[in-house]
Structure 1
Amino acid sequence: MQNKQIDHVHGVPYSVPRERSRWPSLGLALAMHLGLLFFLWIGVQWQSTEPVAVEAEVWDLKVQTAAPPPEVATEPEPQPAPPPTPAVAEPAPPPPPPPPVAAPEPKVDLREAEIALERKKAKLKEEKAAEDARKKQEQQDREETKREQDKQKQKEKEKADKLEKEKADKLEKAKQAKDKELAQEKAEAQAQKDQEQKEQAEKKAAAEKAAKAKKAAEQKAADKARADEMSRITGAVGTGTTGTAAKATAPRMDSGYVAAITTKIKSNIAYSGSTDVPGAPRAVYKIEQLPTGEIISVRKIKSSGLPAYDNAVENAIKKSSPLPKKKDGTVEREIEAVFDMKDLPK
């Protein structure tokens, strides 16, 4: 069963009116929104400009309260209109409240503002001077701290240098003591070496002296033997001819020349056999030489009966080349030399 709405005013059934076209209502809504956006933009632009505020310090015995900053009037945002309802009359919107009236700005005395400004500048100057004095004091404190640190470092450095110097002095003294000890040991060793060298030199001098004495004795014995030989062989060397006369008519040979040749040859005889043999073994050799004294031939004329002795004499003759010369520098072409075993040194 379907219920019908009844109009109680007129007493007749309520009927839904016919729906009209929606375009007028849409246009009105769009116009209302555009208007609302416009008013919002105006309000934002108007509120973006801040009022200029002037601050001043007023020095007076009376306590005054600063005026409050001016209030900025703000327009209340309009509410969006509700969509129209069909056949219902809406009441007219209330008018917007009037904007608040800004309070009048208080009048400022320029003279007092200048005085306050000068005082503020003086205060800032004093604060700056105090800040500069504080910075200067801090700088001085830093410099003083740095000087103290440098002084402490210098003391530590001097102390370290002193310790290093003492250490170096100790090392130097130890080195000097060691060098002195080494020098003393070296001097003692050198003295001992010199003493040994001196003893060796004395022994050597004594040996040389003994050798010289022995050589002098041998030379004396050789001279005596040479004299005896000269007295014995002068006639044999000078008379070595094949003539029948009782005496030779040829000139006699220089006895000193013959003795010099015989002595040199005898000094080169190296005979290791025994000289204590019966009889008087004698070897006779004929020697031919050049004008320079060089021996060119050695011929045995008479053997001593001892081959070893004969060979020793022959080797000594060859070893004695060149033979000594006469005082005038000449030599005899041929010489017969006689070598007795008894004349050998014992």
Structure 2
Amino acid sequence: MATTEPAHDTPYRVPPEPRRWPSIALAAAVHLGLLAFLFIGVNWQNNQPVAVEAEVWDMKTQAAAPPPPPPQEIEAEPETAPPTPAPAPPPPPPVAVAPPTPAPPDIALERERKQAERKKLLAEEERAEEKRETERAAQEQKAQKKAQLAAEKKAQELADKKLADKKLAEQKLEAKRQEDKKLDDKKLEEKKLADKQKGDKLAKAKAEAAEQAKLDKLRDADMKRMLAGVGGTGEAAQSTAPKSDPGYIAAISAKVKSATSYTGNTDVAGNPAAEFRIEQLPSGEIMNVKLVKSSGVSGFDDAVEKGIIKASPLPKKKDGTVVRTLTIAFKMKDLN
């Protein structure tokens, strides 16, 4: 029995079990037809034979018959024609033999043959069923193996995805740590810078306070010396204090202007002026510069302050003395 190989791409379906009733009905019809044929054949050949009479000649008995009598002497007669021989006896008529009646077929042998064919057919069906079972088992095993491979592949993909997600989470966590560390470092640097600036401010304030104390001390010493030289009261000292010297102020202004570099825009309304208080040593070296009045332009104020510091030591008066504390105004358009 031929079987059709199922396609590998389609799911295996169990073929339906063959029905036995059509086979049984067909076998019964064949047997009935065969019996009818035998019955009709036997009746057709079973005719009454025709009665035929026949004589039986026994050859042995004929040979034992008495010999014919000896011929008698006959007088010689004139020669005549030879006698005609006696006719032979007619052969015996053929015995009509009735045709042999066909023997009925051996029902037992026919039954055994049918049983053998049926057993052979059942054996073939069993072998076909075993083959189908084997193929079905092979298909099921193949499907199970395919499903197992698919499950293993899916499990591996899930494991790889979990590993990738874990690595990505670790990378994000490490990036966050690095970012937090950078922020902490930045905050620490800012704090250090603020502390440094605060320390610088404190140091500058201390230095300024110390310088101011030094200037005050020098000023007090000068006043005491001047009072001691004059030998009078404070009013006498004030009356003998040095007066303003236009040439001296002009020389200081000229040197500060030459040392000032302002690159900003000078095309402004009016002529803004910045006023500074300058404290210097007897040698003309500047000890302190303080902005008393701003010009309204911070860039110009910073440039003039840097020019004053750069112009140290300042020029002296004709007699070689200096004014320890000066207040000088510098105008923007006068620098050109």
**TM-score, structure 1 length as denominator?**
0.30
Structure with higher RCO (Cα < 8 A, 6+ apart) = 2
**TM-score, structure 2 length as denominator?**
0.31
